């Protein structure tokens, strides 16, 4: 039996508190099989869609959603600290957006970073693209602007593009925050494109070589060889070098 996860079934009122009019809705996601839909009524099956907002001031009666999709809004700050998101975050084409505060596992409390266990985000998709005024110094998680402090470990897709993103966002200033050796952080697609012309992809490229990013990979418009192919290439060079040394030894004899 083939299963098609998370198909939108119907719309509900989002009950958002906003300072001006905008288009908002929530979509209840349901798992549908080839025979019949499987009912799901939990808050973690809701997708929140927000567009056309000039001043998003908060959420009312909505604390947990599976996905958020915020696009073509004109507000300058987006505060998601008190909203629990269990699956996907998409923030795109918001021309005035300058600051993003990501969901906080324990609002008002300080936790150890990177977070682990139930505190760690379970997001599978993070896409923050074409928000031209956004600076990576203003993408906050528990007060920090460092990517690795988010504790992400099971991403399918990550895209950070069309904004002013800096090398330090990924390359942590403290050695203790470096990614776990050998861990796969992204399984399908990783894209980083910054308007900062001085952005240095060396650190991300090294993670790609080590296998932290699987599937498609692009940093500043360029891709690199994944770790498996890199390992094969290194092995081949080592083998050829060994054969060359063996031949030289035979000639000397």
Reported as a single tens digit per residue, the pLDDT across 84-96 is 999 999 999 999 9
How remote is the C-alpha of 246 from its chain's centroid? 49
Q: Is the pLDDT of residue 155 over 50?
A: yes
25 or 148, which is more confident:
148
- Average pLDDT value for residue range 206-213: 90
121 contacts 154 by C-beta, under 8 angstroms: no
Q: At what angle do helices 227-252 and 202-210 cross, to 10 degrees?
A: 80
Q: Quickly tell me which residue has 């050998």 as its tokens.
A: 182
Cis check for the bond before 114: say yes or no (omega within 30 of 0). Answer: yes
% of the chain beyond a pLDDT of 70 = 70
Q: Is the pLDDT of residue 238 over 50?
A: no
> Which token pair is 126?
């993070």
> What is the model's pLDDT at position 113?
84
State the Cα angle at 60 between 125 and 136, rounded to 5°. 40
> What is the model's pLDDT at position 99?
97
State the Cα angle at 109 between 114 and 117, rounded to 5°. 40
Question: 158: exposed, middle or buried (C-beta count within 10 Å: 0-12, 13-18, 19+)?
Answer: buried
> What is the model's pLDDT at position 225?
83
Q: Given pLDDT bands bounded at 50, 70 and 90, which one contains residue 33?
A: very low
If you average pLDDT over every residue of the chain, what do you get? 77
pTM over 0.95: no
136 contacts 164 by C-beta, under 8 angstroms: yes
Q: Given pLDDT bands bounded at 50, 70 and 90, which one contains residue 143?
A: confident
């Amino acid at each position: 039996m083939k299963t098609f996860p998370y198909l939108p079934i119907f719309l509900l009122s989002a009950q958002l508190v906003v300072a001006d009019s905008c288009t908002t809705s929530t979509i209840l996601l349901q798992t549908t099989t080839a025979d019949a839909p499987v009912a799901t009524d939990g808050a973690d099956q809701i997708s929140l869609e927000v567009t056309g907002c000039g001043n998003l001031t908060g959420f009312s009666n909505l604390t947990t959603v599976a996905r958020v999709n915020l696009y073509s809004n004109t507000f300058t700050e987006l505060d998601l600290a008190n909203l629990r998101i269990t699956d996907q975050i998409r923030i795109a084409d918001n021309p005035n957006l300058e600051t993003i505060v990501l969901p906080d596992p324990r609002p008002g409390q300080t936790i150890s970073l990177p977070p682990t266990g139930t505190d760690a985000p379970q997001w599978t998709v993070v896409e923050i693209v074409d928000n031209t005024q956004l600076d990576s110094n203003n993408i906050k998680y528990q007060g920090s602007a460092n990517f690795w402090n988010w504790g992400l470990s099971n991403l399918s897709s990550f895209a950070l593009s069309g904004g002013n993103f800096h090398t330090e966002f990924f390359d942590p200033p403290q050695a203790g925050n470096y990614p776990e050796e050998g861990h796969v952080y992204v399984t399908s697609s990783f894209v980083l494109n910054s308007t900062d012309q001085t952005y240095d992809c060396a650190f991300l490229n090294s993670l790609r070589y080590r296998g932290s990013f699987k599937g498609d990979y692009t940093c500043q418009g360029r891709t690199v060889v994944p770790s498996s192919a890199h390992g094969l290439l290194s092995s081949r060079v080592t083998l050829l070098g060994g054969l060359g040394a063996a031949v030289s030894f035979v000639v000397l004899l």
